[in-house]
């Protein structure tokens, strides 16, 4: 009879099939969460004046007076940092302050030594030409974001003769450019 042989074959297939199912790998699932963030470009330069009178009293000697603060904040390299004011002279309208009268010395502007954004070897006052690039090598190749305040300092000796009356001012414009 063929029936017991067929039943035996089916039984063997069932046993082999059930063993195959028993040793099969379990089902698996994979999920990936892609976390990404955007770091925006920060490229900012602001200037803050320091309140108070600038001493033009006859014969006054002023040494490294803080005239203003430059606030740098950037997270990409600078291409240039240029200065537009070149004469280095305070003026009241069209009238320049007369530094040469009776022993005065014209102002020399500097930036504090701790300022990493400006190259002090290029920032020599009065600036030789409008558009002189005074950015430091560090500022042109940043590896991390920079935020710093740099003091703009002034040194001068006022002439012993009284200057003409007026409100004297000096504008220094810094222009920072990036890639």
Mean pLDDT for the stretch of residues 100-122: 86
Residue 88 pLDDT:
66
In 20-173, beta strands by DSSP E:
43-49, 61-74, 80-83, 91-92, 95-96, 105-111, 132-133, 146-157
10 Å Cβ neighbour count for 96?
15
Position with higher pLDDT, 42 vs 161: 42
Residue 117 pLDDT:
95
> Measured in Å, how far apart are the chain's first and last C-alpha atoms?
92
For the chain, percent of residues with pLDDT exceeding 90: 31
pTM: 0.72
pLDDT tens digits, residue range 50-106? Answer: 877 788 888 889 999 998 999 999 999 999 999 886 666 788 777 777 777 767 888
Mean pLDDT for the stretch of residues 37-59: 86
Q: Which fold has domain 43-177?
A: Immunoglobulin-like (2.60.40)
Question: Cβ distance 86 to 126 under 8 Å?
Answer: yes
Of 2-16, 56-70, 139-153, the poorest mean pLDDT is in 2-16
Tell me the pLDDT of the chain averaged across its residues.
81
Residue 20 pLDDT:
47
Whether 173 has a pLDDT exceeding 80, the answer reads yes
């Amino acid at each position: 009879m063929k029936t017991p042989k067929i039943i035996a074959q089916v039984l063997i297939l069932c046993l082999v099939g059930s063993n195959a199912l028993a040793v099969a790998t379990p089902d698996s699932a994979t999920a990936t969460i892609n976390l990404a963030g955007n770091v925006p470009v920060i490229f900012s330069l602001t200037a803050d004046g320091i309140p108070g009178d600038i001493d033009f009293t006859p014969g006054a000697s002023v040494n490294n007076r803080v005239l203003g603060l430059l606030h740098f904040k950037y997270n990409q390299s600078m291409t240039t940092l240029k200065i537009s004011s070149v004469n280095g002279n305070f003026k009241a309208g069209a009238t320049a302050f007369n530094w040469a009268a009776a022993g005065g010395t014209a102002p020399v502007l500097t930036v504090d030594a701790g300022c990493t954004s400006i190259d002090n070897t290029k920032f020599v006052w009065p600036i030789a030409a409008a558009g002189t690039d005074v950015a430091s090598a560090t500022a042109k190749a940043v590896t991390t974001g920079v935020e710093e305040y740099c003091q703009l300092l002034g040194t001068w000796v006022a002439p012993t003769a009284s200057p003409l009356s007026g409100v004297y001012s000096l504008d220094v414009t810094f222009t920072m450019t990036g890639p």
